[in-house]
Amino acid sequence: MKTVYADNAATTALCPEALEVMVNCLKDNYGNASSMHHSGQAAAEVVLQARQDIADCIGADVNEIYFTSGGTESDNWAITNAARLGAKKGKKHIISTSFEHHAVLHTLMKLEKEGFEVTYLDVHEDGYVRIDEFKKAIKNETCLVTIMFANNEIGTVQPIEEIGAICKEKGIYFHTDAVQVVGHLPVNVKEQNIDMLSFSAHKFHGPKGIGVLYCRKGIPLISFMQGGAQERNKRPGTTNTPAIAATAAALKKSCAEMDKNIAYVSALRDKLIEEIVKVIPRARVNGGRTARLPGNVSFCFEGIEGESLLLYLDLKGICGSSGSACTSGSLDPSHVLLALGLPHEIAHGSLRLSLSEYNTEDEIDYIIEQLPLVVNRLRDMSPVWERIMKGEN
């Protein structure tokens, strides 16, 4: 059977370059990067070079890069750290959005229980925050703004540089969850006024379980675990040399080929969106089309359940997702789609297809052929769809 992997926002395939350096490290360069002997120092050299390469890719300094276990840890660390710094000055207000990843939202909910106040900006029907509303939300007590660079479910990209400039002017820490962006769109932390930036290797063809926190020089960073002196005393635990080397290899490649990939992947995306809305009635594209991740396609199909749609697509060899991998298993529609103001019954019929440069034009044609068949079949069995067609809904 044909398989089409269209769930790259959940995770990506490892690229050959990352695999190769990873295997080399595991086999030959297995020393502990904190050891004094030559084996340890060889590992330390690999890590230093990787740290430099990664810093170069995002316009940071080598000493502003901290390795973590993934995007989730980076988000938790950055937000908790900035909140602690704010609290010391009596500033306990945070601004975010209603459609952040759960790594951010759940960290904010924990801080709310500890007495912080959080303003969740509306992202409107199109999935973009409004700068005037953001400005109005700022208070004297605001210590942190954390707004995702691009949304993992609907692909909308926020005006990060502008938000960052406002934070800079007001002396407010600015963190952004850039897990969907690094390796896919140009990032320069200095030019884009970013104080803290989270990202994760497995979203750009690197390995899982390794992430990065960029934290601007001058921002005190408090370790939230106790242990050894790794990561300049900020993040204890034996250095994951193979994963770090692979992260750098994958990111270097993604950045070197970025322009080409953006052009290629966004052409596949646009073809898929345009063909599907042409042939499937009552298909809604989620998220605005102006600033959107190159690989993100998100629909709601009225009258059907996203879960059944996924199962049927899977039988055809197509891997997609209904919203985000993190919320699957719960029956509630995704908080992201609800944040757009979609009614529950429409949000239930969601499908996210996320593409990468590994997808081919043939695969897109295959999806365009199969998806309408599957949607029609499910609608034929759906009492909800029958009511919609009778004009009762």
> How many residues can be counted in the chain?
393
Q: Is 248 exposed, middle or buried (0-12, 13-18, 19+ CB in 10 A)?
A: buried
CA dihedral 57, 62, 63, 69 (to 10 degrees): 50
Radius of gyration of the chain (CA): 22
H or E segment to which residue 217 belongs: none
Q: How far is CA 295 from the centre of its chain?
A: 12
Contact between 303 and 290 (Cβ < 8 Å): no
Backbone dihedral angles phi then psi of residue 280, each to the nearest 5 degrees: -105, 115
- 101 touching ligand PLP, by CB under 6 A: yes
Instruction: Out of 40, 183, 211, 320, name the contact with ligand PLP by CB under 6 A.
Output: 211
H or E segment to which residue 291 belongs: none
Q: Measure the CA–CA gap between 82 and 89, rounded to whole angstroms.
A: 11
Closest to ligand PLP by CB, 152 vs 334, is: 152
Active-site pick, 57, 300, 319, 326: 326
Q: How far is CA 184 from CA 181, 216, 229, 308, 360, in A?
A: 5, 22, 33, 30, 17
Least separation in angstroms between CB 326 and ligand PLP: 8
Least separation in angstroms between CB 192 and ligand PLP: 17
Which single residue brings its beta carbon nearest to ligand PLP? Answer: 71
Closest to ligand PLP by CB, 216 vs 352, is: 352
- 334 touching ligand PLP, by CB under 6 A: no
- 320 touching ligand PLP, by CB under 6 A: no
Q: Measure the CA–CA gap between 58 and 75, rounded to whole angstroms.
A: 17
Q: For residue 150, what is the DSSP state?
A: B
Stretch binding ligand PLP (CB under 6 A), from 14-22, 68-76, 80-88, 219-227: 68-76
Q: Measure the CA–CA gap between 208 and 181, rounded to whole angstroms.
A: 16
H or E segment to which residue 94 belongs: strand 93-97
Instruction: Out of 72, 230, 261, 370, name the contact with ligand PLP by CB under 6 A.
Output: 72
Stretch binding ligand PLP (CB under 6 A), from 157-165, 174-182, 282-290, 363-371: 174-182
Instruction: Out of 31, 40, 71, 86, name the contact with ligand PLP by CB under 6 A.
Output: 71
Instruction: Out of 7, 53, 64, 177, name the contact with ligand PLP by CB under 6 A.
Output: 177
- 152 touching ligand PLP, by CB under 6 A: yes
- 160 touching ligand PLP, by CB under 6 A: no
Least separation in angstroms between CB 334 and ligand PLP: 13
User: In 3-state terms, what secondary structure has residue 298?
Assistant: strand
Stretch binding ligand PLP (CB under 6 A), from 109-117, 175-183, 281-289, 327-335: 175-183
Stretch binding ligand PLP (CB under 6 A), from 64-72, 86-94, 130-138, 286-294: 64-72
Tell me, letter by letter, the H, E, C secondary structure of 33-75: CCCCCHHHHHHHHHHHHHHHHHHHHHCCCHHHEEEECCHHHHH
Q: Measure the CA–CA gap between 159 and 180, rounded to whole angstroms.
A: 15
**Interface map 245-274 toward ligand PLP (x if CB under 6 A):** ------------------------------
Closest to ligand PLP by CB, 9 vs 313, is: 9
57 included as an active-site residue: no
**What part of residues 191-210 is at the interface with ligand PLP (CB under 6 A)?**
200, 203
Q: Measure the CA–CA gap between 211 and 207, rounded to whole angstroms.
A: 9
Least separation in angstroms between CB 302 and ligand PLP: 27
Which residues of this chain interact with ligand PLP, rule CB under 6 A?
70-72, 101, 103, 148, 152, 177, 179-180, 200, 203, 211
Would you name the residues annotated as active-site residues? 326
